[in-house]
Structure 1
Amino acid sequence: MTVSTVPFTFARADDQLVGTLYLPSGDPTAVAVTTGPLTSVKEQAAGVYAAALAERGFAALAFDHRTFGESEGVPRQLEDPVGKAADIGAAITALLADPRFIDKPVVALGVCAGGGYMSRAVADDPRVRAFAGVAGVYPDAAANPADPAVLERGRLARERRLETGVVETIPAVAADNGDVAMPLTEAFEYYGTSRGAVPNYTNGFAVESYEHTPVFDAQEAAARLAVPFLLVHSENALVPPWARKFYATVTSPKSELWLESVGQIDFYDDPRLIGQAADAAAELFRGVAG
């Protein structure tokens, strides 16, 4: 199916967020909102899955979250899971106000950390009709309390910014996996190379994000999901026990698809994994679109 793209902008509070809308050649079955991994932008995994859904007949939005990419917001590169869930809600509001989608059901897909963020957004928003998590990371904050030293590091960084205006950042990835947000070799091989480092991407992580990320709990959203849920995961992806616990807690209609991956990051750009995940998500979404 031929897919076209158009810009799509919307606001949350006083900040403009910038997205790309992927459109199928015919009347879309539904409209999907996507979100992606830690520090990512719309041209990476979220856009890849939005394009895959458009190829399967859905309109799909990938966007830069507040403080990332082309979107506004300060401090730059702030990773705030609850804030990202609020961004998703603002995106849904804007999509449903668009004349092209007024009568279309809204569905949701999250990749990696975006799976956890999307779970919170979907649990809190009755406008979403179905949710697919692809290689989702579903933090279990209750069982894994945050390190007080990490939280303190985030707090001090925020206080220094408020005093001086300077945003303290560390790299998102680095070859030596040192003081970085994602100390994974496979993450550097994606974000730190031409494989995934698109021009709109900044290899940075605001240190004050450590006030937000360690305390985020996606598991609490599992029992609150009221819509059909699809779990796509791999034994070699990140934290399968969290994925299993999340899935077991969901009480709404659910299905799971376990794929063979090399690790986590190949879910972002391996056509085989993307195709299988998108096929399963499209089947779920067609079911709720009626």
Structure 2
Amino acid sequence: MNRNTDSGIELHQNTPDAGRRNLLKLTGAGAAAFGAASFLKTPNAKAQNMSQDWDKVFPKSEKVDHEKVTFKNRYGITLAGDLYLPKDRANDRLPAIVVSGPFGAVKEQSSGLYAQTMAERGFVTLAFDPSYTGESGGEPRNVASPDINTEDFMAGVDYLGLQASVDRERIGVIGICGWGGMALNAVAADKRVKAVVASTMYDMTRVMSKGYNDSVTLEQRTQALEQLSRQRWVDAEKGTPAYQPPYNELKGGEAQFLVDYHDYYMTPRGYHKRAVNSGNAWTITTPMSFMNMPILSYIKEISPRPVLLIHGEKAHSRYFSETAFEAAAEPKELVIIPGANHVDLYDRMDVIPFDKIAGFFNQHLAA
């Protein structure tokens, strides 16, 4: 694990020979923002060949039907998703929910678990891989964008609204971790969505531009952008982007939240070979657009539609939800889960308040 400086940023000289060893690190962006190491050699712009096997990190429910689907976003990128439908749906048009996250995860992990569980509770749900990741299309691989990834949620709403089993006037969104911030941003703009839940939410533009607890100074930010800008010449010269090194390989002495990420992404609990955070990596220049584009500027415009924020009491990221809650307009609710850390809300069925989430959507997606 590379060390963090007291300032929260560690800069390495960028030269053509330095290659993939050179990178920017912002405070705490580590496991949460950038995931883990290596790179995926899958440069196809179309959706990757989708596995038809049940390759999720959670067991398949006998209460729902499941199918693999694809759909396109506004930029023409083909997204891959898992569609979950209640078995007892008959010919009814049901309320539906688009789900994605965490940042650097795939639909076979937390978002799929949320989607399947909500389908058990009577909703048609769609868990998808964001652009450039997992089985979705886009090149180069493993790039994130506050704009395109916000659009990905809206494309999911497009898709669900065309399904015969869905009442398009009753669509909600769930975003997990870094995709919680994307979900809030998408719903602020997309007035078709009637309600939104952000679970263990990260504001990725805030953490990448300011570091954890907003500790990065203007001088440090300028230095970081200087390096990232020059990295673009390195990438342009080589014709391929450089990728970041491992974050989730523990060597001892790491902060507890990094240990928690490792426990989910790098062990049988949550490891998935296609996840950025499970032994793969974002491009070095991924932070650039996040550092100059605050995604929660218009959170008040979600109102009068309701917002439910859920966070763990012990989560290092709790302040993101608390700040978002303060900025949002009514109707809004913040639920703090006693004793829970950040990743407990990824998959702990005894911790995630599914009764609360289902009740929220039953109320606000009512016919």
TM-score (normalizing by structure 2): 0.71
User: Displacement, 1:134?
Assistant: 0.8
* 1:166 counterpart (236, 240, 257): 240
Query: Which amino acid counterpart does residue 67 of structure 2 have in structure 1?
Result: V
Query: Cα deviations across residues 242-290 of structure 1 (Å, max 9, x unaligned)?
Result: 311211221131122210244211211211122x1x2212111111222
Q: Please, which of 272, 276, 299 is the counterpart of residue 222 of structure 1?
A: 299
Secondary structure, in 3 states, of the residue corresponding to 2:108?
Answer: coil
Distance 2:325 2:205 in 1: 13
The answer to whether the 8 Å contact 2:131/2:144 transfers is no
Q: How does 1:127-276 map to 2 (within 5 A)?
A: 127-138=192-203, 141=206, 144=214, 147-171=221-245, 173-176=247-250, 184-202=258-276, 203-226=280-303, 227-274=305-352, 276=353
For residues 15 and 279 of structure 1, do their structure 2 counterparts lie closer, same or farther at Cα, with a shift above 3 Å needed? Answer: same
Partner Cα distance (2:99, 2:150) in 1: 11
Query: Aligned runs of 1:33-48 on 2, under 5 Å?
Result: 33-48=98-113
AA partner of residue 253 (structure 1): P
Cα–Cα, structure 1 residues 138 and 24, in superposed 2: closer, same or farther, change >3 Å? same
The one-letter amino acid paired with 2:138 is G
How much does 1:26 deviate? 2.7
Larger Rg: 2
| Structure 1 partner of 2:70 | 9
Per-residue CA deviation, residues 23-62 of structure 1 (Å, 9 max, x unaligned), is 1123364110011122111111111111111111111111
Alpha-carbon distance in structure 1 between the residues aligned to 2:63 and 2:166 = 19
Q: Which has the higher contact order (CA 8 A, sep 6+)?
A: 2
Given the alignment of the two structures, is residue 59 of structure 1 paired with residue 124 of structure 2, yes or no?
Answer: yes
**Structure 1 counterpart SS, 2:270:** coil
Matches within 5 A, 1:19-38: 19-27=81-89, 29-38=94-103
Query: In 2, are the aligned partners of 1:29 and 1:289 still within 8 Å (CA)?
Result: no
Q: Take 1:286 and 1:8, find their aligned partners in 2: how far apart are those partners?
A: 25
Q: Does 1:124 align with 2:189?
A: yes
Secondary structure at 1:205 match in 2: coil
Query: How far does residue 216 in structure 1 lie from its aligned partner after superposition?
Result: 4.3
Q: Which amino acid aligns with 1:9?
A: T
Alpha carbons of structure 1 residues 140 and 223: separation in structure 2 relative to 1, 3 Å: farther
Q: What corresponds to 2:54 in structure 1?
A: none
Moved more, 258-267 or 114-123: 258-267
Q: Which residue of 1 aligns with 2:12?
A: none
Taking a change above 3 Å as real, the CA distance of residues 285 and 136 of structure 1, as seen in their structure-2 partners, is same
Q: Provide, for residues 150-201 of structure 1, a one-character-per-residue CA deviation record: whole Å limited to 9, x for no partner.
A: 33333333443333222211146322479xxxx8221122212222221332
Deviation larger for 188-197 or 151-160: 151-160
The alignment covers a number of residue pairs equal to: 284
Separation in structure 1 between the aligned mates of residue 133 and residue 238 of structure 2, nearest angstrom: 21
Once superposed, which parts of structure 1, at least 4 consecutive aligned residues long, lie more than 6 Å away?
none
- Structure 1, unaligned stretches of length 5 or more? none
Correspondent of 1:83 among 148, 169, 185: 148
Identity %: 27
Runs of 5+ unmatched residues, structure 2: 1-61
DSSP 3-state at the match of 1:105: strand
Q: Say whether the 8 Å CA contact 2:195–2:365 is kept in structure 1.
A: no
TM-score scaled by structure 1? 0.89
Residue identity in the other structure for 2:71: F
Structure-2 separation of matches of 1:74 and 1:261: 40
- CA–CA distance in structure 1, aligned partners of residues 222 and 140 of structure 2: 22
Cα deviations by residue, 1:92-113 (Å, 9 ceiling, x for unpaired): 1121122222545110011111
Distance 1:213 1:117 in 2: 11
Matched residue type, 1:258: I
Contact 2:205/2:290 (8 A) holds in 1: no
1:125 and 1:172 mapped to 2: Cα distance? Answer: 36
**Per-residue Cα deviation, 1:208-231 (whole angstroms, up to 9, x for no partner):** 112023344243132221211111
Tell me the secondary structure at the aligned position of residue 49 of structure 1: helix
Moved more, 262-271 or 57-66: 262-271
CA distance in 2, matches of 1:265, 1:282: 20
Q: For residues 11 and 269 of structure 1, what CA distance do their matches in structure 2 show?
A: 28
Aligned to 1:92: 157
C-alpha RMSD of matched pairs (Å): 2.3
